[in-house]
Structure 1
Amino acid sequence: MNTVIELLQNRVSCPKLVAPAPNRDELQQILACAVRAPDHARLKPWYYHVIQGKALNELGELFASTIDANNVAQDKLEKTRNMPLRAPLIIVAVCEPQENAKVPAMEQILAVGASIQNMQVAISSLGFGSIWRTGDMAHAKAVKQHFGLSDQGEIVGFIYVGTPDKLPSKPNSSINEYVKYWE
């Protein structure tokens, strides 16, 4: 079997990630794969923010600041603050759609999604694990502003990256459930 096909068929999301994360050279390879994603009209609507070390704590404080501490349980506030600490490295993939008569914003967001897939495949190929997360923080106005997004900009994903604590089992699914052939 082709090694790329085998990698794609065996890739899994890894919710439990520990150090080490990819080093600078490996990270450059991962990001180089990201910018090779399909991109109609070569608009390159993507930007990536790499967060690690002390900056993970700063991101956690940003997340916590979006919650009304007076109206939420303390454990929820702490859980939100600790979200970025679930991996040694996070790549925040954002889309800043550009005005283009032929390429709607949704297509540009999908291009960033494809770039995330490229990153996840590259991460797996280097022996690391990742998980693509979104949730409330991806839509929180203060978080989006922190990353310099316009009103049209979107956080497409928080890509948590590191070494899998343990590999999750690969779900066994048949393509027959999801494919219809028109002949």
Structure 2
Amino acid sequence: MDALKLLHERRSCSALTEPAPEGEALDAILKAALRVPDFQHLRPYEFIVARGDGLARLGALMEVAAKASGKSEEIVKRAPKMPLRAPLVIVVVAKARESDVVHLFEQQLTAGCAVMAMQMAAVAQGFGGIWRSGWAMFDRNLHHLLELGEKDQIVGFLYLGTPKEEPAPAPVVDASAYVRML
């Protein structure tokens, strides 16, 4: 797929099924994440990949975190099912690296870029995906259960698989409405 076409027509796809990327396809997705802008080459990220039984384990951790955080009964009940909406989920974590030069926020931006790069690499190979956020992304109980550091931050859950149907075409947006020239 042409790179500009890929970027200009990017769409999230929430209705995902098997097959999910694996083997060389998954390697290509993870390799794309390693090429994002990364000042000082800190590699300030970690990718926690859940598939098969790992999806249920991730859901169980989300349920425990939801209970520990005092979430509503509805959220607690829904939590273990959340990762099951796709055959593969990558939890993307901004891993805080010590640096006198690179601010923590810059490191989090690098991890965010990794999510986008992985989604684009998946779409380029014929898969679909959606970058999800929500309460679990900020829940410190879930961070603890995933054995993340105090300064680490989940920046998203990348759900990947094969689209059940083609996403609607991207709407045409006039870029000039968001641009100001100096």
Bin of the TM-score, shorter chain as denominator length: over 0.9
SS in 1 for 2:160: strand
SS in 2 for 1:102: coil
Q: How many residues align?
A: 180
Shift of 1:68: 3.1
Give 5+ residue unaligned stretches, structure 2: none
Structure 1 counterpart of 2:10: 11
Structure 1 counterpart of 2:94: 95
Q: Distance in 1 between matches of 2:71 and 2:26?
A: 40
State the Cα RMSD in Å.
Answer: 1.7
Structure 1 counterpart of 2:80: 81
Instruction: Give 1:1-183 correspondences, 5 Å limit.
Output: 3-68=2-67, 72-73=72-73, 75-169=74-168, 170-182=170-182
Deviations 1:142-183 (A, max 9, x none): 21122221110001111000011122212221111111222x
SS in 2 for 1:181: coil
Counterpart residue type for residue 106 of structure 2: E
Shift of 1:18: 0.8
Shift of 1:100: 1.1
Bigger shift: residues 103-112 or 16-25: 16-25
Q: Distance in 2 between matches of 1:38 and 1:72?
A: 39
Q: 8 Å contact 2:66–2:75 — kept in the other structure? A: no
Counterpart residue type for residue 145 of structure 1: H
Percent identity over paired residues: 36
TM-score by length of 2: 0.92
TM-score by length of 1: 0.92
Shift of 1:95: 1.2
